[in-house]
Chains A and B, each alone.
Chain A
């Protein structure tokens, strides 16, 4: 069996059958992180028309072990995965769940996220700080904007991209948020609003940076034959890919091209047998306005330096030819810290045609791509509403 045939055997073998958020999103000091998980799982399992007792594969990243999640929902899983490589971990886990389901290691998988990013209920930093503590903190580095800004100024230097162009990403994404009742910030903004908003870390003002919220989200998956009996139309995982390049930004080979993103996309596209031009809908992890354009470039949707054109020419905005971040994104809808579960949820809702005023007409193929850390790790999904 060739490598390509092995990849292709996974394509369309599994489906996403349930998605949902926690009961509320936003500022939730009255809810523990575990509660955000439990609510999201409860809601997503209901969305699938399944029972929590059906879950035998548990996947989560971040502050909790999958064993904690299984315990909290009262199941005894026979498959667990706690891969934590940043916010894209949940996107990567769709691929991991696909493999586990395909090989019969579990039958119903749940991928769960719950994070009190804003209120900090029960949040503890618990990791090896030897590298950032020694090489970064003494100079004021710490917090994502102080790293992603370096990627951004280098991109401006190499490709001539401008503050106005980054601002267009925020403006476009806010237009989508205006159509999503669950989005936190829904008032329209202009390029000038972005440029005049509070400076944080140049080249970023506050409107170039994602929200910080409390929320949970969950995704339920099963094999395709069982998916057809679930409550909602199945969404097929046609392709999935992942990659990891660096953690410390000094180790990234080229600050303006993410090897992790490229690898994840190449693998997902090969598995699915598709090209960038085949998609009608795209979800990208927008922690910063410069992220989505750079991701489009690394994924091969355009040449280096041209990603911003999708936004400034209106292609990504409501009514455009390639709608991007139709939930309002991390910039305007919600961003807990590890945002990756939410673009999957939106992609599934678009493919089912559930999105009301923000529904993209005729979506058959949707792309989800997310980063972990500073373009350090990445996951890409090709999702479809037919085989």
Chain B
């Protein structure tokens, strides 16, 4: 099957638990055991308190749509998903923000608003890679 998207590349060693989790349908994020704050992207040192003591936790998968765009054209030719596509920044309940797509929703600015509740869905790309995406909380609209 032809891929619709560029796969995450390279998978960096410090991010391996994130992608291993996604493959199993779990949103795994690093958290500092010293200050208790979760963060993304994964790093070997806490960006808030400088501790090197990092654990991985399973995030609830709930968050809010922090900001969004509706792309009518995509520059990257490896990205073949039919436009318009909703490009999104989601702020997880646990604090970290990530870039993603908002799916199962009408790509219409009138139907979308910043801070609307969203939840994770997992879209399998290959045996190795599953991408976390988000949809409006409570399912498709």
Contact = CB atoms under 8 A, between A and B. Distances in A.
Interface in B106-141: 109, 113-115, 125, 131, 133
Contacts of A356: none
A139 B100 contact: yes
Most B CB atoms within 10 A — which of A129, A139, A153, A200? A139
A140 interface: yes
B98 A146 contact: no
A201 B72 contact: yes
A250 B97 contact: yes
A158 B100 CA distance: 21
Contact of A199 (B72, B74, B98): B72
B20 to A, nearest CB: 14
Contact of A140 (B74, B96, B97): B74
A154 B115 CA distance: 9
Indicate the size class of the contact surface on chain B.
35 or more
Interface string A194-230: 0000011111000000000000000000000000000
B109 A138 contact: no
Contacts of A248: 41
Most A CB atoms within 10 A — which of B71, B113, B115? B71
Nearest to B83: A140
Indicate the size class of the contact surface on chain A.
20 to 34
Contacts of B70: 201-202
A134 B8 CA distance: 4
Contacts of A255: 66-67, 89
A181 interface: no
Contacts of A149: 69, 87
A320 interface: no
A118 to B, nearest CB: 15
B76 A137 contact: yes
A203 B10 contact: no
Contact of B89 (A130, A150, A199, A200): A150
A145 B87 CA distance: 11
A140 B73 CA distance: 9
Interface in B37-55: 40-41, 47
Contacts of B40: 135, 250
B66 A154 contact: yes
B98 A250 contact: yes
A131 B78 CA distance: 17
Given A130-B12, A134-B10, A157-B115, A143 B75 contact: yes
Nearest to B39: A251
Given A203-B69, A250-B99, A131 B114 contact: no
A133 interface: yes
Interface of A: 129-131, 133-143, 145-146, 149-151, 153-154, 157-158, 199-203, 248-251, 255
Closest 3 CB pairs of A and B: A149-B69, A157-B114, A202-B70
